[in-house]
Amino acid sequence: MKPSLTLSVLGASLVLNTITACTSASNNAVDSGDGSDRASVPTQSEPSTAQSPAATPNNQPEQTPETTKDSEKPTTKTDMISVEGEKSEVTLKLYDELSQVFTTYFPKDDFVAESRGSGADTGSIFYYNVDGNKNKDVYVSISFPTWANNAEQLERLLTAKGGLVQKNQWQMESQTKEVPYSWAKEKILYKQPGSSENILAELYIGEMNGKVFYVITHFPAEYGDGFAPRADFILKNLEVKG
């Protein structure tokens, strides 16, 4: 073979090898670049199959309806009332607006119930409702104060100087521990001096399930025959939560 032909063959072979090498390097570079992009760009992770406890049925806190005896109480019930010697049937309505504190029943046609609360006193007041007219001077009030730890302390604070009794200018008429309600420790009867209606205020000191409270029935003496037996339903059905 002539030297010039040999050089031509070798040159062609060298060019072919160079092209092959460049093509291989280019392909490798493309593959490497794709991998780099996937690593540097944040990828959205696949949704987790594990749900939060709040959404997972097996982990949900049980949405158990209240099964205490309070929730089992009927919203209304009937009872018998005796007014001036005459007996009749009366419909009582469940009061559970403050069921975490107490429940009771009241004659639904004879009272308007309102809840009230503050940082120092929580409770409800039942205004006497005569012929559709709410009388704010005739009521049953149930109060759970935070400023007393036991029945004895509560009584002292209510009757002390500057306490509830003095503020209302009530004058004590009688005091007894013989009370027909299991929660009542004592009953104190007061009169409102200077009142043309001869206002009476009965103060009950109560304690039940670790809670101390007081109840006031406030009414003119002439209302006694009609008001007292109706207020009695509220007091005898009173149940305090522990």
pLDDT for the residue numbered 130: 85
pLDDT for the residue numbered 85: 87
Give residue-wise pLDDT tens across range 70-102.
Answer: 568 999 999 999 998 899 999 999 999 999 999
134 strand-pairing partners? 129
* Whether the model pTM is above 0.75: no
Which structure tokens are listed for 37? 């992009």
Average pLDDT, the chain: 78
Give residue-wise pLDDT tens across range 101-135.
Answer: 999 999 999 999 999 876 678 999 999 998 889 99
Q: Is the pLDDT of residue 25 over 70?
A: no
Give residue-wise pLDDT tens across range 172-223.
Answer: 999 999 999 999 999 999 999 887 889 999 999 999 999 999 999 999 999 9
Residue 113 sits at the vertex; the CA angle it makes with 109 and 116, to the nearest 5 degrees, is 175
User: What is the Cβ-side half-sphere exposure of residue 184, based on CA atoms within 13 angstroms?
Assistant: 21
